[in-house]
Amino acid sequence: MKARNLAVLAGIGGASIAALALLRGRARPGRPRSGRLRLERGMAAVRLAARGGARYATSAPRLFASAGEHRQALRNDLALQTAEDVAATLGTMKGVLMKLGQMASYVDDGLSPAARRTLSRLQDSVPPMSPELAAQVIAEELGGPPERVFATWDPDPIAAASIGQVHRAITHDGRAVAVKVQYPGIAETIAADLGNVALLRRMLKITAPMQDVDALLAELRERVTEELDYRREAKNQEMFARYYAGHPTIHVPGIVPELSTRRVVTSELADGARFAELAGWSQAEKDLAAETIYRFVFRSLYEAHAFNGDPHPGNYLFHGGGRVTFLDFGLVKYFTEEELKPLVAMVRYLCVEGDPEAFRRAMEEAGFLMPGAPLPTDMIVDHMAVFYDTVRERGPRTMTGSYATAVTRRFFDFRSPLAAYVQIPRSYVILQRINLGLFALLGELSATADWRGIAEEIWPFVQGPPTTPMGQAEAGWRAARSGAGHPGRSV
């Protein structure tokens, strides 16, 4: 227990911060290491803005400030043409650093603006594949040139993915699809670079005590390795798509399994407004969008026992009336009944039963709190309450950026008297993205809702009646699909 576990709690976050410190070379000798995460006010907003999804168009115009008409030419000029180009651009640790940076941006709030700039530059430095190179990957994976595999193929990518790019196409049976194509050789390159344990250790040790480095490395390798195999992502997305089929506001594009492989994933094409565009929408629209995202996160968790750990704003498309398309299922964690039980119990005892001692016991059972910690229960409740702040009472509440920041601060508060006795077991580490991703996102929207009412609809031990029009519509969907069971466990 104690300090050692807090590093595991910080998980990839701690690791990434170290890498980023290294990226900027800003760590000063003699700087105290204890405050391993630097929190800055207003960071969530900046972070969200910075994470609008890397698109080539955003990096190209900087080149020649006055030459907008050259952009297309420039894209072609810089395109990666061979697997060797891919290795030169993303090899020698750069791909690994990019992944580290991406993970850091979800997991913690402590990126300095300089570190964020470095990472975004690193992402900008990766040009798209040339049409020929993308076609070569399609041919290797799907057995023919894209023009034959698909009825129509757009050789110009529409978006960048972290280790690939997205093309539009129409299948032979007439479906418009998005085809994500992985850079050739990237999986091998990143796997090789992840093998340089010495360099990774050097990058990690700055913030994590040595004994934790191996655990962090294991976590990092596992996550990255998972993301490199698109089949896993396809499987996850298919599960979510099946689960939410027919849902009034939640839409997950279906997978086309026969056109999906390790390096290609084909899904139904979706279009809609990007998160950044939402800023210009009415507050009522923002509130509805926020309600949908909130329902999606907690329905998925409590009912499908699945959590999409990639809540960044680039992964949503908005359609108005609260309808949201959810994209990118590269990082999904499935929970067993056993894993979920203590979490449910904690919510129940704190928010519904009002039984602090039972809450404390549930925390101990979950492994969050060391049994027999010499701390009064009310202190523990005080410390933990902030995480449940939005669902303790009925009535409308507005999510704010400062709430998201407060949650994050509490999460990473290593100086609190509890710090020596609390930890986050590894299987729950990913859930911190609820705090650091979801709340930041909803705060960014200044979303107002009766979150407690919505939560009661979803909490398995309450299963309350609908509290909003969306809840009504959802109840109809649930009635229609009753008996479908838990798709999360059927996969």
Partner 1 sequence: MNAGPYADAAGLVERSAAAYAAAVPVAPEDDGYFGPASVTWRVSADLSAPVAGLRALLMQALHPLAMAGVDQHSDWRTDPVGRLAATSAYEVTVTFGDRASARRVAERVRAIHEHVRGVDTVTGLPYEAGDPALLLWVHAALVDSALAASALLGTPLAEADADAYVNEMAVAAELLGTPREIIPDSTAALARYIEGVRPDLRLTPAAAESMGYLLDPPGLDEDIAELWQDIRDAAVAALPGWAVRLYGYAEPAPLTEQRRTEIRQALGVLDAVFLGEPGVLEARQRIAVRMRTAARS
8 Å CB contact between 56 and 75: yes
Cβ proximity to partner 1, 86 vs 265, nearer residue: 86
Half-sphere exposure of 192 (CA within 13 A, CB side): 11
Cβ proximity to partner 1, 88 vs 176, nearer residue: 88
Q: How far is the CB of 24 from partner 1 (least distance, A)?
A: 7
Q: How far apart are CA 125 and CA 78, in angstroms?
A: 10
Q: How far is the CB of 93 from partner 1 (least distance, A)?
A: 4
Cβ proximity to partner 1, 50 vs 420, nearer residue: 50
Q: Which residues of 5-25 are buried (b: 16+ CB within 10 A; e: fewer)?
A: bbbbbbbbbbbbbbbbbbbee
Q: How far is the CB of 35 from partner 1 (least distance, A)?
A: 16
Q: Output the six-digit token pair for 270.
A: 């979706």
Q: How far is the CB of 12 from partner 1 (least distance, A)?
A: 18
Q: How far is the CB of 275 from partner 1 (least distance, A)?
A: 25
Phi, psi of 316 (to 5 degrees): -125, 145
Cβ proximity to partner 1, 66 vs 211, nearer residue: 66
Cβ proximity to partner 1, 19 vs 166, nearer residue: 19
Cβ proximity to partner 1, 14 vs 311, nearer residue: 14
Q: Which residues of 359-372 are buried (b: 16+ CB within 10 A; e: fewer)?
A: bbbbbbebbbbbee
Q: How far is the CB of 369 from partner 1 (least distance, A)?
A: 36
Virtual CA dihedral for 442, 448, 450, 451, nearest 10 degrees? 10
Q: How far is the CB of 262 from partner 1 (least distance, A)?
A: 25
* Residues in contact with partner 1 by the rule CB under 8 A: 21-29, 62-64, 74, 77-78, 88, 91-94, 97, 114, 117-119, 121-122, 124-125, 192-193, 196, 198-199, 202-203, 206
**Count of C-beta atoms within a 10 Å radius of residue 178:** 20
Cβ proximity to partner 1, 57 vs 199, nearer residue: 199
Residue corresponding to tokens 């919505």? 454
Q: How far apart are CA 454 and CA 140, in angstroms?
A: 47
